[in-house]
Structure 1
């Protein structure tokens, strides 16, 4: 006859067998579009067994994490723009990403101070010109101020975040006095009031309103695959090898940080490391024609389209610090008037 103790043990074992093992997980807060991230996130789960609980937010990411406080479930933040990720650090909601793989893969100028954030992909801000009317293949950002471009230059608003970051980079290179003079020279060269979007400058090159413009590289990629009039805009332009006179190409980034109170910190590190792998860099970067940060990735979609860029050596943290001063100079120069 089976005694009560043995019956209890059998019942306990049955309960344990019937209870599924809880899967490991990591909680991601991001402002990126689901379609861009999901392929890489799904591959991460398949390869590691770690489920990604993604919260997609249009805005208010920092405010939400701050409001959640020490009880926030956020493990990883993934945003676009160095200003946004640096603001998260300033808000005190991040912690250092400690990883030998990250240190090896991501150059120091593409990481935050004390490694509080990490670049995942890059987008260059480069000069495009009319294929028909401009024959040169390379240019410096400084050359855009040359009077030979008077009435031929198009650009979106100077206070737009893309241009604000670029002007902050120029300020980091050249100082306030030269940056103000540069802004006034660019303004004098414009064919129209600064405004519209990056793709609009390609449209205006096709129409003949301007010959030269500044654009983010991923827009070139997106127009190249368009099935509407934007395909014609793409075919009218030619990207130039664009650098600072004493540096490389200005880039902005998509970047990740580990939340200060991350409940799954180890898995947060694993997710960031995975996003830097060759497989994930292609899955993630190609979705929006962004440059990989992993130098071992040679065949990304944007590289096939326009070639490689050499990022400027100026630290992105220095650019972030100069954004307010750059915005003030844009106003002082009357750039958007």
Structure 2
């Protein structure tokens, strides 16, 4: 039984209890696909500040969205938290989120990191950047476009096309460069694969250590986490041999993956839900996204943890992520066309 299945079974057992208390004063029913133990601090601090108890169901984002659809008007969910813009947009399209008015969120969260209809807001980010073996690569690619250069044939490791990080990266390339350019890029990129797409981002970094690949792409927080604490296969010696590039610094900037959430369409505790999202935009919560999970805050000017700051300064892509999310179906068509498994 997978961890996702376990979480959903636990959620199903808890659902009756949550539903019975859904209309209780001082409660918040949270559906979350963020699977980080460090988020416990976010929840406990919110409860300490407000007295609002958080009832939580965790699981795979797509399954949680499907559950909310099935529950319909009877859903006890107040908040959906998930990772990646494409999933947030999927929830919006499924009709399980609602638009809200919040001067706090409108002011604190940059416009590019929120839905056009205020149905979802981003609260933390990860830059998707290029990592490379310093011993084997003396002239690393400096942009996403460069990754399709034949000079890097047989050197690149990446995740599968079914992964949302792959989908939103190509969706951003479509938004920034157009469909034809994105298709040509994907053809060259796939030609440079050192192995069949596999594993998670940490596995792409481990591929550099094992020698399976010389170049990989990963979200920054996986590498920053290894700087902060022990991660299997990524000891201090291994990390010293890995270099990194924030791509496209003379063009669009580094692609950013978003973690965010929105108020459920049938939220029984709507005011509490809005209060929780506003709390996630506070300096206190924003600092903890960085300190607890090695992410970049969504709110400008919030301090970074040492592990994140160690990666250096860079210019992020300022593209509207709401628009990027709409390109996912087109990205999937490109995957099929170029044979990106």
1:228 equivalent in structure 2? 232
2:309 equivalent in structure 1? 304
TM-score, structure 1 normalization: 0.86
Kept in 2, the 8 Å contact 1:137–1:241? The answer is no
Moved more, 151-160 or 253-262: 151-160
Q: Aligned residue pairs: how many?
A: 315
2:9 equivalent in structure 1? none
How far the C-alpha of 1:238 sits from its partner, in A, is: 1.5
Kept in 2, the 8 Å contact 1:120–1:292? The answer is yes
Quote the Cα distance in structure 2 between the aligned partners of 1:302 and 1:105. Answer: 24
How far the C-alpha of 1:302 sits from its partner, in A, is: 4.5
Kept in 1, the 8 Å contact 2:221–2:308? The answer is no
Q: What SS does the corresponding residue of 1:317 show, helix, strand or coil?
A: helix
Kept in 2, the 8 Å contact 1:28–1:77? The answer is yes
Tell me, yes or no, if structure 1 residue 100 matches structure 2 residue 130: no
After TM superposition, what 4+ stretches of structure 1 lie above 4 angstroms from structure 2? Answer: 135-138
Tell me, yes or no, if structure 1 residue 37 matches structure 2 residue 42: no
How far the C-alpha of 1:301 sits from its partner, in A, is: 4.5
What 5-or-longer segments of structure 2 have no aligned partner? Answer: 1-23
Moved more, 106-115 or 49-58: 49-58
How far the C-alpha of 1:243 sits from its partner, in A, is: 2.7
1:170 equivalent in structure 2? 173
Tell me, yes or no, if structure 1 residue 51 matches structure 2 residue 53: yes
How far the C-alpha of 1:203 sits from its partner, in A, is: 2.3
2:71 equivalent in structure 1? 68
Q: What SS does the corresponding residue of 1:97 show, helix, strand or coil?
A: coil
2:277 equivalent in structure 1? 272
How far the C-alpha of 1:141 sits from its partner, in A, is: 1.1
Tell me, yes or no, if structure 1 residue 131 matches structure 2 residue 138: no
Quote the Cα distance in structure 1 between the aligned partners of 2:36 and 2:183. Answer: 39
* Deviation digits for residues 41-99 of structure 1 (CA, Å, limit 9, x no counterpart): 10011112222222223352122222222232221111111111111111112112311
Q: What SS does the corresponding residue of 2:284 show, helix, strand or coil?
A: helix
Aligned equivalent of 1:181, options 160, 179, 184: 184
What 5-or-longer segments of structure 1 have no aligned partner? Answer: 1-21
Quote the Cα distance in structure 2 between the aligned partners of 1:167 and 1:227. Answer: 28
Q: What SS does the corresponding residue of 1:27 show, helix, strand or coil?
A: strand
Moved more, 126-135 or 300-309: 300-309
Change (3 A) 1:149 1:219: same
How far the C-alpha of 1:220 sits from its partner, in A, is: 0.6
Change (3 A) 1:29 1:162: same
* Deviation digits for residues 229-281 of structure 1 (CA, Å, limit 9, x no counterpart): 22254332122122375312111111110111222222111111111112112
Change (3 A) 1:97 1:137: farther
Larger Cα-atom Rg: 1
Moved more, 181-190 or 302-311: 302-311
Tell me, yes or no, if structure 1 residue 320 matches structure 2 residue 325: yes
How far the C-alpha of 1:294 sits from its partner, in A, is: 1.4
Quote the Cα distance in structure 2 between the aligned partners of 1:89 and 1:168. Answer: 18
How far the C-alpha of 1:138 sits from its partner, in A, is: 7.6
Aligned equivalent of 1:240, options 234, 240, 245: 245
Q: What SS does the corresponding residue of 1:297 show, helix, strand or coil?
A: coil
Kept in 1, the 8 Å contact 2:132–2:140? The answer is no
Kept in 2, the 8 Å contact 1:159–1:330? The answer is no
How far the C-alpha of 1:34 sits from its partner, in A, is: 5.7
Moved more, 144-153 or 107-116: 144-153
Quote the Cα distance in structure 1 between the aligned partners of 2:51 and 2:231. Answer: 38
How far the C-alpha of 1:40 sits from its partner, in A, is: 0.7
Q: What SS does the corresponding residue of 1:54 show, helix, strand or coil?
A: strand
Change (3 A) 1:190 1:259: same
Q: What SS does the corresponding residue of 2:198 show, helix, strand or coil?
A: coil
1:281 equivalent in structure 2? 286
Quote the Cα distance in structure 2 between the aligned partners of 1:284 and 1:244. Answer: 25
